[in-house]
Amino acid sequence: MIRIEGLRHRILDIPDLVIGAGRTAVIGPNGSGKTTLLELCAGMETPESGAVTLHGRPRSALSIGWVSEFPDRTMLFSRVYDEIAAPLRFCRLPCPKVDARVRQAAEALGIRHLLSMPLRDLSGGEKALVAFAAAVIRTPDILVLDEVDSHLDEEALRQVLGMIRDAGIPLTLICTQNMDAASEADSVLYVVSGTVRHQGSPEDVFPLLSGTCFYPPLWRLTRCR
């Protein structure tokens, strides 16, 4: 669980917010503060005022997976294999176990053929998949994905969501501009101008957005004017 109290930080002004277990979609216009909120929830920023508590524990006691909206910015190594293996190597898992986990993750995401390639030779979508694999491979306590899906085709997105479900990660935050995907999350946060305008299940939140383009396209198709 993530608890936010009395938060004022850059554009954000959030008096009180609790994000529960499961998959939460963070949606809203460009520049509304979604990435800033995600950075706070990943423990990458300290709030200017107020508090952000992650699972009621200190940040140093948690493992957190993070994929930036700029996938290039999270890359540390030059080879795909090393990038995905790094989080396991950093916690000193034995090499054979690291190898097995890396290959298993790559298989599940359909990127096994990329393992020996230099990261600079990958396409945008492939980079996003590698960044995701590295973020998820340690089964983090919190997983934060900032618009990773904007680089992915439908099949790749399905594999990513399947992997989040199967990995048993307790809390995932996904910022997305894909409202059909957001409508399948456990809960939705609609952020506008630094404030959380709506929060709740997709069934609670999206009807409030029916007059906007944030209403899921598939929902819009199921009824005529």
Partner 1 sequence: MQVALRDAEIRRGAFVLRCDAAIGEGVHLVSGPVGSGKSTLALLLASILAPDSGSVDRHGVSSCLLSLQFPEYHVTCSTAAEEVLSWGLKPDPVLGRAGLAGRGQADPLTLSRGELKRLNLACVFSCSPDLLLLDEPFSSLDCAAKVRVCRAIEARKGGITIVFSHERAVLPRVGTLWEMEGGRLSRVGDVPDAIPRWRFAPQYLRHALERGARPANIALTDAREALCRIRD
- Contact between 30 and partner 1 per CB under 8 A: yes
Nearer residue to partner 1 within complex by CB, 91 or 221? 221
Size of the site for partner 1 (CB under 8 A): 40
Nearer residue to partner 1 within complex by CB, 210 or 212? 212
Separation CA 2–CA 30 (nearest Å): 23
Nearest distance from residue 132's CB to partner 1, in Å?
Answer: 11
- Contact between 156 and partner 1 per CB under 8 A: yes
Nearer residue to partner 1 within complex by CB, 48 or 72? 72
DSSP state of 57: B
Residues pairing with 192 in the sheet: 195
**Helices 95-108 and 124-136, packing angle to 10 deg:** 130
Nearer residue to partner 1 within complex by CB, 97 or 158? 158
Residues pairing with 17 in the sheet: 4
Nearest Cα residue to 158 out of 223, 108, 211: 108
135 in Cβ contact with 163 (< 8 Å): no
Among 124, 162, 200, 207, which residue interacts with partner 1 (rule: CB under 8 A)?
124
Among 78, 123, 193, 210, which residue interacts with partner 1 (rule: CB under 8 A)?
123
**What value does the CA radius of gyration of the chain take, rounded to a whole number of Å?**
18
Nearest distance from residue 64's CB to partner 1, in Å?
Answer: 20
- Contact between 172 and partner 1 per CB under 8 A: no
> Per CB under 8 A, which region of 37-45, 84-92, 116-124, 131-139 contacts partner 1?
116-124
To which residue do tokens 């934060």 refer? Answer: 144
- Contact between 211 and partner 1 per CB under 8 A: no
Q: Which residues contact 181 (CB under 8 A, 6 or more apart)?
A: 25, 149, 157, 161, 174
Nearest distance from residue 48's CB to partner 1, in Å?
Answer: 17
- Contact between 120 and partner 1 per CB under 8 A: no
Identify the sign of the CA torsion 91, 96, 97, 102.
positive
- Contact track, partner 1, 51-70, x by CB under 8 A: ------------------xx
